[in-house]
Chains A and B, each alone.
Chain A
Amino acid sequence: MSAPAFEFERVRKAYRFFALDDLSLRLEPGQIMGLVGPNGAGKTTLIRLLMGMVRQDAGTIRVLGHPIPEAQALAKRDIGFVSHDMNLFGSATLAWHMGFVQSIYPGWDREYATRLLKRFYLHPEQRIRALSTGERVKAMLLLVLARRPRLLVLDEPTAGLDPVARHEALAELMTVLADEERSILLSSNNTHDVEQISDQITFVDRGRLVESGDKETFLDRWRRVALDVEEGTEFYTPPGVTSVTRTGHTAVVVTNAYSPELETLYARSGATVREVQRLTLEEIFVATVLHNRKERGE
């Protein structure tokens, strides 16, 4: 059996004004994890720990079976990393970068690289400093995808891209997903991107892991339930309700533990279920983070 793509166990990393605290997280081979969190939540710190660029104060990290940061050089043979705030060498051409990466990674797929050049409409002789933001991101994706790494680590790769460039980048990632042995960690503020390609969702907020699990389960158990209720009557709030908004005879309940029995329970308590809606990942994310902060008294 293959080792997990990565595994964090009780990891802690503290800075002066921020700490990633007691983080345990695991990604199995072939899975795609969407890492979602507000700005400053700790997504980039988590990724830099995974890449061995910063060292944890406590806890253990293993990537593709290798301890990090000790064996990062071995692990990084099979990791492709693209970050929104990463850059290539401005004075060199894309062709030079392709040659450079090819000289380091024996698994470089020349034909695939040529296909990606056409697909991304990139010109190898162009200098990196002459590329637009979208072209630069596509160039970086090309450099990692043509290596065919076992683990792709993408830190907000579509940040700052126009909708067309974002669509092209995501479409290529979707193609990569056809390989069942390849794992992806995608960090993003854009829940639409994450919802589109991930099968695992992890929410982080203020340095803590808030929730992590299967995307379908996430989407299935969250519902917004609109009820008609008698004004002024006591209102039944079963476990899992994260928020209740009442206006006159109407109550809107958001729950993370939905089941069809919930509607029966409300009917028994005298309320009339008017509408049950699924939540988007963005709505789930916002509800989860706010609920978690409230529970912690923050």
Chain B
Amino acid sequence: MTRSVVGRLIAKDLYLYRWLIAGTILAGVTSIGVAARGGASGTIGGILLVTSVITLGVFLSIHALLSERQSKALLFVLSLPISPMQYAVAKIAASLLAFLIPWTALTGLIVGLELTYGSAGDLAFTGILMGFLLANFCILIAVGMVTGSEFWAVVGILVTNTSVPVFMSIALPALRRAGEGQGAAWSPAVAATLGAEAAVIALSLGIAFYVQARRHDHV
């Protein structure tokens, strides 16, 4: 029964955030359409796409993770036949899914376009950028689950959002240059960056579960 309750809770969050998920996909696809025109439109479309994904992460970290606590719906959820750890599993899984559905759809669309029209270098670039956005969202999940505080969530949002333009304007061009210098898109630097992003994702989720497991008071 409890396993099915976890599933119901995940389905519940996906239902409650269905318009946000659909809206992000729509905004993302539109942005990709703009970006595909190239030139200045390419830059604008790219910025709009990144903004759509960041906005999704911000909304989910505030609403899916924290508003349940602040609106006292958490008491209702915790009165269901689940343990607090199962609640955390459901909450993290639902937030990740709500993020990953548009993220996967948009990444898939970009990759498809790049495989058709672009180069291997573009693929690496896309992988690193989308991985960076996913890692940032996982950091926000960890901050939300560990602190349960809107203040720290806003601090997390500020820090992760600030890191995006820095990453895009400094790290990505440097990685691209390094790859070109070595004559391969999937250079060791690119692989190391992807590995670091995977490590941040794993560490963030690990911290969120670890803290939840050690927590005594859940309301």
A interface residues, Cβ below 8 angstroms from B: 48, 51-55, 69, 72-74, 76-77, 79-81, 83, 85-92, 96, 100, 103-104, 140
Contact = CB atoms under 8 A, between A and B. Distances in A.
Contact of B83 (A52, A77, A81, A85): A52
Contacts of A69: 83-84
A81 B217 contact: no
21 contacts: A51-B78, A52-B83, A53-B217, A53-B219, A69-B84, A73-B82, A73-B86, A77-B81, A83-B75, A86-B76, A86-B79, A87-B75, A87-B76, A88-B76, A89-B73, A89-B76, A92-B16, A100-B8, A100-B12, A104-B4, A104-B5
Interface in B43-97: 71-73, 75-76, 78-84, 86
Contacts of B5: 73, 104
Contacts of A90: 71, 73
B1 interface: yes
A100 B217 CA distance: 26
B72 A104 contact: no
Contacts of B78: 51-53
Interface of B: 1-2, 4-5, 8, 12, 15-16, 71-73, 75-76, 78-84, 86, 216-219
List the 9 closest A-B pairs by CB distance, nearest first. A81-B79, A55-B216, A86-B75, A87-B72, A76-B81, A54-B217, A77-B81, A53-B219, A73-B2
A96 B86 CA distance: 22
Contacts of A83: 75
Nearest to B12: A100
Nearest to B17: A91
Given A51-B79, A73-B81, A76-B79, A87 B219 contact: no
Given A73-B83, A140-B76, 9 more contacts: A52-B84, A53-B218, A72-B83, A73-B5, A76-B82, A87-B73, A88-B76, A89-B73, A92-B16
B219 A48 contact: yes
A132 B73 CA distance: 16
B124 to A, nearest CB: 40
A96 B11 CA distance: 12
A73 B2 CA distance: 7
Contact of B79 (A54, A79, A85, A100): A79
Nearest to A44: B219
Contacts of B83: 52, 69, 72-73
